[in-house]
Structure 1
Amino acid sequence: MNRRIHYIDNLRWMTVSLLILFHAAIAYNTWGEANYIFFEPIKPIASVVTFITPWFMPLMFLLAGVSSRYSLQKRGTAAFIRERLIRLGIPLVFGIIVLNPILSFIADKCHNAYAGGYFEHYGVYFTRITDLTGYDGGFTVGHLWFLLILMVISLLSCVIIKLIPKCKTATRITGILLSVSAVATFDIKFFSKPLIMFLCVYLLGYYVFADRDFVARLSRLKWILVTLFLLSSVADVVLYIYIDGFEILNTVCYYMTFITGIPAIIAIGYDHLDFSNRITKFNASISYVFYIIHFPIVVMCQYCMSLIGVNAVVNFFLTIIISYMLTVGLCVVIKKTKLLQKCHHAVT
Structure 2
Amino acid sequence: MKNGKSVRHYDFDWIKVIATLGVFLYHCSMFFNPFPWHVKNNVIETSGIFVFSLFLGVWLMPLFFTISGISTTYSLNNRSTSNFIKERLVRLGIPLIFGVFILSPPQVYIERITNHQFTGSLLDFLPHYFEGLYLDIGGSGNFAFSGLHLWYLLVLLVFSFISMPLFKVFSRGHKFRKCYFFILPSLLFFSGVINTMGLGGWDIVFYFIIFIYGYYFFSSSEFKPALKSAYKLFLPLAIITSIIYIVWFMMVLPKPNSIQDIIFYGVKTINCWSWLLVIFYLANKYLSFSNNFLKYTSEASMPFYVLHQPIIVAIGYFIYDLSWPIALKAFVLITTSFAMIMFMYHFVIKNIKILRILFGIKG
TM-score, normalised on structure 2? 0.86
Q: How does 1:43-122 map to 2 (within 5 A)?
A: 43=46, 44-112=48-116, 114-122=118-126
Of 122, 129, 135, the match for 2:133: 129
Q: How does 1:237-276 map to 2 (within 5 A)?
A: 237-242=246-251, 250-276=264-290
Note closer, same or farther for the CA distance 1:153–1:230 as it changes in structure 2 (3 Å cut): same
Q: How does 1:138-287 map to 2 (within 5 A)?
A: 138-140=142-144, 141=146, 142-168=148-174, 179-186=185-192, 188-193=194-199, 194-242=203-251, 250-287=264-301
Note closer, same or farther for the CA distance 1:235–1:161 as it changes in structure 2 (3 Å cut): same
How many pairs are equivalent?
346
Q: CA deviation at 1:176?
A: 7.9
Q: CA deviation at 1:166?
A: 2.6
Q: Which moved more, 1:93-102 or 1:171-180?
A: 171-180
- Check conservation: 1:91, 1:292, Cα contact below 8 A: yes
Question: Is 2:350 aligned against 1:335?
Answer: yes
Q: CA deviation at 1:167?
A: 3.1
Q: CA deviation at 1:223?
A: 3.4
Distance 2:338 2:27 in 1: 12
CA RMSD of aligned residues (A): 2.7
- Check conservation: 2:95, 2:360, Cα contact below 8 A: no
Distance 2:234 2:182 in 1: 18
Q: Which runs of 5+ in 1 are unaligned?
A: none
Q: Deviations over 1:251-297 (max 9, x none)?
A: 34322211211111111111111111111211111001111110011
3-state SS in 2 of match to 1:131: coil
Note closer, same or farther for the CA distance 1:269–1:107 as it changes in structure 2 (3 Å cut): same
Distance 1:208 1:301 in 2: 41
Note closer, same or farther for the CA distance 1:279–1:25 as it changes in structure 2 (3 Å cut): same
Question: Is 2:352 aligned against 1:315?
Answer: no
Q: CA deviation at 1:218?
A: 1.1
TM-score, normalised on structure 1? 0.90
Note closer, same or farther for the CA distance 1:169–1:274 as it changes in structure 2 (3 Å cut): closer
Q: Deviations over 1:50-99 (max 9, x none)?
A: 10111111110010111111111111222111111121111111000000
Note closer, same or farther for the CA distance 1:130–1:5 as it changes in structure 2 (3 Å cut): closer
Distance 1:176 1:167 in 2: 20
Partner of 1:302: 316
